[in-house]
Amino acid sequence: MKARGVISVFLATLLCASASRAETLNLLIWEDYIDEGLIDRWTEKTGVSIRQINFDSDDARDEILADPGRNIDLVIVDENGATLFGRKGIIEPLSETNLPALEDYAPEWRKSCAGYGLPYFWGTVGILYRSDMVTPPPTSWRDMMRPAPALRKHIAMFADHSEIFVPPLMLLGASVNADDTPTLKAAFALLKTQAPFVLTYDYVVTSIQDPALAGNIYLALGYSGDQHVLNSKAGKAGLWRYSVPKEGTLSWLDCFSVTAASPRKQRALEFLNFIGSPEAAAANAIALNMPTASNAALKLLPDTMRSDPEIYPPTEIMAKNQHHQELSVRSIEARRRIINTLANFQ
């Protein structure tokens, strides 16, 4: 009995010691934007858990990232965010020295992340629509900005100072980075006319989880890949589809970064190297139905996925697309004033 008691005390001490050494990495990321199976594999392999903190707009992410109390170790940023946060010293410089997985990524992708992120997923901004409620499928930004009467109070927009201006600016034939007053006023006029048709200005992946809204959203502004998240939440494959309008759209790249202030920086780099490996990047892309930025992972994807136009848009569509540039403070403030005004016209 005494021997058993000694063993029990020893085991309890060992368990407490293990618990004290247990680590958790805080990851700031869009909802449903990483394969849970990969996270499980990482935790089983290392004993390090991943705590996901979700945001539903770039503005919301920036507020969380700016709060030191959040203790963020890893974060998903866009191209502009990588440049801006890198310049401010908020995220860690990355190279093949501290992140060997980068060698599998093309120089143009790495350049877009400005040396401060692992190229993650890329895609477009477009129109998400319920295939049972919206026929024929939308083909133009006009279908969203000047909608049919049946879509009144059935549209979900996205009150982000960048993305919400993509439809009106593309329809006007203007740059998505426009910051001159006449162009922004013209975009505001289109958004104001559309407002009575808008049910919500919250990101569709967030708003679709509100029982009061879910069944009434037929058309939404969102990202390529969101249709798979919406179908998963609806429990019905193929219900939601995605369309890139004929006028072209915004192309984007997300970068996976490590925060400079992380007290677990080495572990964060190890996780990023794991996620960026060919096998993990391919598994992640397949699970999320998203286009990988890894050349090595691309070769591991099934042909059906590489030929899917909802995942890899045709060249002629991509040729019309624009890319975000860093907006001036004046432009951002003007855009936010417009967004805050839209609720008055609903």
The 10s digit of each residue's pLDDT in 198-251 is 999 999 999 999 999 999 999 999 999 999 999 999 999 999 999 999 999 999
DSSP 143: H
CA distances from 177 to 70, 183, 249 (A): 31, 10, 12
Burial of 18 (0-12, 13-18, 19+ CB in 10 A): exposed
Residue 48 scores a pLDDT above 50? yes
What residues pair up with 220 in beta bridges, in sequence order? 128, 156
Mean pLDDT of the chain: 91
Residue whose tokens read 């790495």: 110
Q: What is the pLDDT of residues 135-183, one digit of tens each?
A: 999 999 999 999 999 999 999 999 989 999 999 999 999 999 999 999 9
**What's the pLDDT score for residue 5?**
35
What integer is the mean pLDDT of 113-118? 97
pLDDT class for 22, splitting at 50, 70, 90? Answer: low
Query: How much of the chain exceeds pLDDT 90, in percent?
Result: 83
The residue among 259, 269, 218 whose CA lies nearest residue 240 is 218
pLDDT in tens, 61-113: 999 998 888 899 999 999 999 999 999 999 999 999 999 999 999 999 999 99
Amino acid 1: pLDDT: 31
Distance CA 207, CA 215 (A): 10
Q: Rounded CA gap, 277 and 283, in Å?
A: 10
State both tokens at 71. Answer: 């203790």
The two tokens of residue 119 are 């190229």
Contact between 78 and 113 (Cβ < 8 Å): no
Q: How far is CA 224 from CA 111, 242, 258, 310, 323, in A?
A: 22, 7, 25, 7, 15
What structural domains and CATH numbers belong to the chain?
A: 2-122+253-311 (3.40.190.10), 123-250+317-345 (3.40.190.10)
Say if residue 311's pLDDT is above 80. Answer: yes
Write down the residue that tokens 């085991």 correspond to.
11
Q: Which residue has the tokens 């001159």?
A: 180
* Percent above pLDDT 70 for the chain: 94
Q: How far is CA 46 from CA 26, 42, 99, 234, in A?
A: 15, 6, 17, 34
User: Which residues on adjacent β-strands are paired with residue 29?
Assistant: 54
- Radius of gyration (C-alpha) of the chain in whole angstroms: 22
